[in-house]
Amino acid sequence: MKRLFALPVLALSSVLVSAPMMANAADMPKAPECIAPANPGGGWDFTCRSVGKLLSALSYVDGNVQTVNMPGAGGGVAFAHVVSKRNTDNGVFVAASTATTTRLAQGQFPGVNADMVKWVGTLGADYGVIAVSKDSPYKTLGDLLGALKSDPNSVKFGGGSANGGWDHLKVLMTAKAGGVDKLRDIKYLAFNGGGEAITQVIGGHIGAFTGDVSEVLGFLQSGDLRVLAVLSDDRLPAPYDQIPTAKEQGVDTTAPNWRGFYIPGGASDDTYNWWVSSLDKLYDSPAWKDVMTENGLLPFHKSGAEFNEFVHKQIQDIAEISKEVGLLK
């Protein structure tokens, strides 16, 4: 299974600055606990530890934030734990990402749903890409989609997620938006990480790579890969600014692998509002911008009601395409 962000967390020695005025101090959690729904070293662990350090360093919270690793079922163990045992706990928040919404959409968290927690906000994302080797006959995304329209079996894709996972879904969503029929016939091979899939593409063993933009930078700079599209609303900042978006090529697809948080569904409204306000301010802080730059996160921020709406729409979209290709009944 693909690891969700295992890059090092920026040292926070430069963060010894005064914290901005926050929401009502009475609503501030006392030394909150952040649950990372996986073992140390992955994306959820990164999200908890980097945000937790800043919340303490900037005096957003009183005391240190403890990160508790709770692996299992791709985040399902942590989700069920919060829903069943911590539902009214105002002192806990949980790291989440697109992997969370994917598993909720595909019914991999039995007995729970997205309405059982409160979705707080995001603090950046890693965007999806479609790439081919430098020698590929496909020069544009349109060329690739044209081949799939003629024969859905003509291009074999590889990525670092399991069959039906986020990398696979990126291809299916892009193909569907590009007018490709018979999505079930599109070939996807799961590898033990994006790097292994990229090696197969460069070697000419498979036709295209589907993954995140952070995985392709070195190969893009060396000229070994041609990135046909990034799945973002707008072009990304340098060094990715030369990659065209799918949207500007007439294919309305976005695929951010966002990093964010939810809190228990029974947490107080005051606590929820504090978290929304605090993450808004944290996202805008120079200290967090430094963390994003050091760890390859790109701009993507939604919070409060907007984030809640986004989560439910993403779950709906993933469920629909999962049914269309037979991943769900």
Secondary structure percentages of the chain, helix, strand, coil, to 5 = 40, 20, 40
Residue 319 pLDDT exceeds 50:
yes
Please give the tally of structural domains in the chain: 2
Domain of residue 292 covers: 21-125+257-323
Q: How many CA atoms lie within 13 A of 107 on its CB side?
A: 7
Amino acid, single-letter form, for residue 82 = V
Percentage of residues in the chain having pLDDT higher than 90: 81
Angle (nearest 5°) at CA 173 between 167 and 178: 130
Q: Is 2 part of any domain?
A: no
d(CA 60, CA 48): 15
Same domain, 133 and 220: yes
Same domain, 237 and 295: no
d(CA 86, CA 267): 9
pTM here is: 0.84
Kindly tell me the burial class for residue 191, based on how many C-beta atoms sit within 10 Å of its own C-beta (0-12, 13-18, 19 or more): buried
Residue 77 pLDDT exceeds 80:
yes
pLDDT of residue 248: 97
Same domain, 251 and 274: no
Write the pLDDT tens digit of every residue in 166-184.
999 999 999 999 999 999 9
Write the pLDDT tens digit of every residue in 230-287.
999 999 998 899 999 999 999 999 999 999 999 999 999 999 999 999 999 999 999 9
